[in-house]
Amino acid sequence: MQRIVVLAGGIGGARFLRGLRFAVPDAEITVVGNTGDDIHLFGLKVCPDLDTVMYTLGGGIHEEQGWGRADETFAVKEELAAYGVGPEWFGLGDRDFATHIVRTQMISAGYPLSAVTEALCARWQPGVKLLPMTDDRVETHVLIDDPDAADSGRGEDGGDGTAGRKAVHFQEYWVRLRASVDAHAVVPVGADAARPAPGVLEAVAAADTVIFPPSNPVVSVGTILAVPGIREAIADAGVPVVGLSPIIGNAPVHGMADKVLAAVGVETTAAAVAAHYGSGLLDGWLVDTADADTVGAVEDAGIRCRAVPLLMSDEETTAEMARQALALAEEVRA
Ligand code: FO1
């Protein structure tokens, strides 16, 4: 049986996985999910990327939005707001709340996030093995300009570049600020001390193919690779590692990846993202047909590259992208 490991963020990763599962229904697919986007709100642990994968593959996702539950209502959020309890900018629905209550209850009882995720998936039956990248707490923070810094007396940074700046949680940057201000740095706080969750390194070691879906290369796949041991395990696995560009025609297909790419000094092009992963990690890279002229540059960087349609407009189109990724993996393997 074919064993595939996919490193996934939220919407892009989840939609790709739906196509992959459709393309190779008999494959054993292990998903290593990003948990750097996790946030604690109202005393609850919210795991947006794990939930987006779980709901999308389990048939419970709000299709148009790409995150949260279908047929959602917001009575709890409205009641909290009536008490003046926020944040009002983060839309947690009533159905979604139940997931976070169960998760937090299990974590309080001593279960690690990996066991909790397995328990939640028992309901949703996503058809893949969904693992958090780590059971340890990692929280992505984004460094932005702080307009209040001059007044507050903050401003001395000892030369580390943080004067006049402040770190905000990734969700605050993404959802409240809509990535409307420049990101100077993206820091996965806690990643350096985190350990891969049980099963992650084992799945990579047993994999026939590793895929980087069209997820955000900085705050999704990049955060997973920041957990010590995961990047090394993938590079040393001796199996094809292929990725699909989340950038088409110099713009992110979904989300605001350009903002966080700039923070790590990477241009918003399909070729620059491939070079960012690097030939030491990536063996194959799919770009969209709109970027066919960049194939040569990627191949010159030592990464096998093909141009195919990469818009995930429906399940069959997405399944075809998955087939192309697997075909590229076979080409690299040969
Ligand atoms: N994205 C938004 O743009 N606005 C929201 O209010 C919002 C709430 C939310 C709640 C639960 C959840 O699982 C995801 C949610 N997202 C929301 C998506 C999320 O912020 C990001 O798109 C991902 O973290 C990036 O992968």
Check residue 151 and give its pLDDT: 52
Check residue 148 and give its pLDDT: 81
Q: Which residue has the higher pLDDT, 316 or 160?
A: 316
Which atom of ligand 1 is closest in space to residue 89's alpha carbon? Answer: 6
- What is the arithmetic mean of pLDDT over 250-274? 92
Instruction: For ligand 1, atom 14, name the residue with the nearest CA.
Output: 48
Chain centroid to CA 216: 6
Which is nearest to 34 in space by CA: 18, 51, 20, 22? 51
Buried residues in 79-102 as b, exposed as e (16+ CB within 10 A) = ebeeeeeebeebebbebbbebbee
Q: Taking CB atoms and a 6 Å cutoff, what residues make up the pocket around ligand 1? A: 9-10, 37, 46, 48-49, 51-52, 67-68, 90-92, 96, 171, 174-175
Cα(46) to centroid of ligand 1, in Å? 10
Q: Which residue among 117, 175, 216, 256 has the greatest number of ligand 1 atoms within 8 angstroms of its CB, and so is best to mutate?
A: 175
Cα 163 to Cα 180: distance, rounded to the nearest angstrom? 20
Which atom of ligand 1 is closest in space to residue 91's alpha carbon? Answer: 6
Cα(48) to centroid of ligand 1, in Å? 6
Check residue 170 and give its pLDDT: 97
Confidence at 158, pLDDT banded by 50, 70, 90: low
Beta-strand pair 3-8/28-33 = parallel
Cα 298 to Cα 179: distance, rounded to the nearest angstrom? 28
pLDDT value at 333 more than 80: yes
- What is the arithmetic mean of pLDDT over 240-259? 92
Check residue 156 and give its pLDDT: 58
Lowest mean pLDDT among 55-64, 104-113, 144-153, 288-297: 144-153
pLDDT value at 155 more than 90: no
- What is the arithmetic mean of pLDDT over 294-312? 97
Check residue 157 and give its pLDDT: 60
Residues 62-115 have pLDDT tens digits of 999 999 999 999 999 999 999 999 999 999 999 999 999 999 999 999 999 999
Residues 125-140 have pLDDT tens digits of 999 999 999 999 999 9
State if pTM tops 0.75: yes
Residues 6+ apart with CB under 8 A from 7: 13, 31, 32, 34, 133, 210, 211, 212, 213, 215, 220, 221, 224, 225
Instruction: For ligand 1, atom 26, name the residue with the nearest CA.
Output: 10
pLDDT value at 322 more than 90: yes
pLDDT value at 255 more than 90: no
Check residue 161 and give its pLDDT: 64
69: left (phi over 0), alpha (psi -120 to 50) or beta: beta
Instruction: For ligand 1, atom 1, name the residue with the nearest CA.
Output: 175
Tell me the sheet residues that pair with 330. none
Cα(175) to centroid of ligand 1, in Å? 7
- What is the arithmetic mean of pLDDT over 177-194? 96
Cα 195 to Cα 212: distance, rounded to the nearest angstrom? 20
Task: Quickly count: other Cβ atoms within 10 Å of residue 330's Cβ.
Answer: 13
Instruction: For ligand 1, atom 13, name the residue with the nearest CA.
Output: 48
Give yes or no for a contact between 273 and 261, defined as CB atoms under 8 angstroms apart: yes
Cα(280) to centroid of ligand 1, in Å? 32
CATH architecture, domain defined by 3-136+193-333? 3-Layer(aba) Sandwich (3.40)
Give yes or no for a contact between 13 and 53, defined as CB atoms under 8 angstroms apart: yes
Please state, rounded to an integer, the average pLDDT across all residues of the chain: 95
pLDDT value at 323 more than 60: yes
Confidence at 168, pLDDT banded by 50, 70, 90: very high
Q: Half-sphere exposure of 298 toward its Cβ, with a 13 Å CA cutoff?
A: 29
Confidence at 159, pLDDT banded by 50, 70, 90: low
Confidence at 254, pLDDT banded by 50, 70, 90: confident
Check residue 269 and give its pLDDT: 96
Tell me the sheet residues that pair with 44. 41
Q: Which residue has the higher pLDDT, 147 or 123?
A: 123
Give yes or no for a contact between 334 and 315, defined as CB atoms under 8 angstroms apart: no
Cα 334 to Cα 332: distance, rounded to the nearest angstrom? 6
